[in-house]
Structure 1
Amino acid sequence: MPGATSAAPDPPRLPERVEDVLDVVEAIPPGRVLTYGDVGELLGDRGPRFVGNVLRRFGSGSPWWRVLRADGSAAPGLAAVAVEHWRVEGVALRRDDADPVAVRVDLARARWEGP
């Protein structure tokens, strides 16, 4: 229409609490990690599955490799890439006693205490 201006559409909004999860993940310093449960506890009302789902769906642009399973391992299918990131960042690693080839994060040394 003549005289009408077309405003850019608003960017899509992330579901409630997704930005909170991503903000916590972004705050984890290089060389440090949290578990999915740790992130949920920092938020106060979210569990590890919620955090994992957020990262799976929306976390590709975040340092997702800094969020681990409770045993110090990466999410299934992501281990090879995560281990590369951990080594570059100097994350304390250990080998799994049950599987000498598997690499896990030494949570006692690498866990971040939070903001």
Structure 2
Amino acid sequence: MVTAREAFEAKKLIARYGVVGKVAASYRTAGYQVKVENPEPGSDYNFVAERRGERLVVAVYAKSGQVPVEAVVKVANAAKELSGRPVLVLYGAGPRASGELVGKARELGVSLKRFRT
């Protein structure tokens, strides 16, 4: 159940940050406290989501084509610095994950999530 406050904050995130805001809004409506720090594509991570002692460091990748392995490495390093669990979100149907990417993500403990609107 989403409270009115969470729905309001989710709409503000979408309006302000676009694609990153849509993903952050879904975490907000799931009960996480979200702080967007780097809304630009290609940054090490885009936002941090916290709930009940759990901290997620989330990077959103939206470019079409193969996702580079460096995206997994960057979010893993950022999560290590921020003492959180790394998550790489593949936004839409454009980004494609190769076997090498999935293997590297498993090795580094990065969760891969597909987000479709």
What TM-score do the two structures reach when normalised by structure 1?
A: 0.30
Higher relative contact order (CA 8 A, sep 6+): 1
Quick check: which one's strand share is greater? Answer: 2
Larger radius of gyration: 1
What TM-score do the two structures reach when normalised by structure 2?
A: 0.30
